[in-house]
Amino acid sequence: MSRVSGYQLFAATVLFQLGTTVIFGFAAEAGRDAWLAMLLSSFLGLVVIMGYTAISRMMPGLTLVEWFPKQLGPWLGLPIAWLYPLLFIYDAGRGVSDLQELIPLTLLPGTPSWIILGALILVITYALFSGVEVIFRLASLFLPLVFFFFVLEIVLLLSSRNVNWSNLQPMLGEGWTRVWKAVWPFGILQTFGESIEFAMLWTFLKKPGQLLRINVWAVLASGLTISVFDMFAIMVLGEGIFQRNIYPLLVLLKQLSVSDFLDNLDALGVMYFMITIFLKLTLHMTTSVLCIQKLLNTSNTRIPILCVSAITLWIGSHMAQNVSDHIFVGVKLLPYYLWIPLFLVIPGILLMVTWIKQKGVPS
């Protein structure tokens, strides 16, 4: 059986939680308090993930899709379990759609989107065939690179004259209302609720006792990183541009220059995005394949991988007519109709049922 180290799981979790947030900006509707909304989302998201780890500890050795038949019986548990790989494939399709909109606008203008998406899916499919251990090793290599560029960006911004600390004031000038709207439900679920996928991967951890500590540190690292991104975007661009722009962090990086020699360093932002979205898509598709294997009780990987790759590419290519529709569905519909039931309600019920059953078993 494949095994991964604590650092590898930490790296994969951090990059997964960063995801597309490093480009789109987090909690823009909260304006200058977006960074505060991120910190609050991190705290509440950590509570959610601790609930997932509690379920995992009460059913050691079982994965996400095995929890439900175990506690709810096959007639109810299996249909619920099948909802998760379908959701993970859909989420992977959304990531592909993000790339379809962003890459032609930045790195490869004029290049047909089907070439970009097809090449990406081919690389991810190769990674899936390589196995879980290879994917986690990639994450362990990518994480230092991402944080190196992150620190470099901060240093360049601080050395410029574009940072205006007064743009963060007054803090909570319009109260907690708009902060809470950014936190619930999108802030908690998009960044941290999706981490329920790792319940398919936690059984690969060499030392299961490290699981809770790894998740705590991962949430702290990703939450603080996104919060700092938001703070600098607000300080440099101002609240208005930060709220109105679809890709505020790309606009932020365009403000960087090195001695009037290196300008338009928004390629750094695209590099963030490509690394994090590649890993997030790979994990979406990996967990989907693992779910299908468990539910079908098969060791065959070839057919599930090819099917998941083809479906993901098709969904991503036909997700929405434009980026506005894509964002509207992701912010206004998806959290309420899919994420709340599958990331909060059903796991919450499962946690209570499992706890009651274990308390009712005589020692």
Question: In this predicted structure, what is the pLDDT of residue 69?
Answer: 94
**Per-residue pLDDT at 220 exceeds 50:** yes
Average pLDDT over residues 84-110: 83
At 237, phi and psi to the nearest 5? Answer: -90, -25
Question: In this predicted structure, what is the pLDDT of residue 42?
Answer: 94
Exposure string of 32-71, with b = 16+ CB inside 10 Å and e = fewer, is bbbbbbbebbbebbbebbebbbebbebbeebbbbbbbbbb
**Per-residue pLDDT at 62 exceeds 70:** yes
- How large a percentage of the chain has pLDDT more than 70? 93
Residues recorded for the chain:
363
Question: In this predicted structure, what is the pLDDT of residue 265?
Answer: 64
**Per-residue pLDDT at 7 exceeds 70:** yes
154 compared with 104, residue with greater pLDDT: 154
Average pLDDT over residues 267-287: 85
Least confident of 50-54, 72-76, 132-136, 242-246: 242-246
**Per-residue pLDDT at 260 exceeds 70:** no
Average pLDDT over residues 186-210: 92
Question: In this predicted structure, what is the pLDDT of residue 86?
Answer: 95
Cβ contact 228:154 at 8 Å: yes
Question: In this predicted structure, what is the pLDDT of residue 275?
Answer: 86
Question: In this predicted structure, what is the pLDDT of residue 353?
Answer: 93
Distance (Å, rounded) from C-alpha 84 to C-alpha 79?
10
Domains, the chain, in order of start with CATH, read: 6-349 (1.20.1740.10)
Distance (Å, rounded) from C-alpha 34 to C-alpha 36?
5
Average pLDDT over residues 204-229: 93
**DSSP tag of 52:** H
| Amino acid code (one letter) for 15 | L
Question: In this predicted structure, what is the pLDDT of residue 264?
Answer: 59
Token pair of 28 as six digits: 């823009």
Average pLDDT, the chain: 87
176 compared with 220, residue with greater pLDDT: 220
Residue from 46, 54, 53 nearest 219 by CA: 46
Question: In this predicted structure, what is the pLDDT of residue 331?
Answer: 78
**Per-residue pLDDT at 47 exceeds 90:** yes
Question: In this predicted structure, what is the pLDDT of residue 363?
Answer: 43
Question: In this predicted structure, what is the pLDDT of residue 97?
Answer: 85
Task: Give the ranges where 103-210 is alpha helix by DSSP (H).
Answer: 113-130, 132-159, 177-182, 188-191
**Per-residue pLDDT at 257 exceeds 90:** no
Distance (Å, rounded) from C-alpha 269 to C-alpha 254?
9
Would you place residue 187 in the very low, low, confident or very high pLDDT band (cuts 50, 70, 90)?
Answer: confident
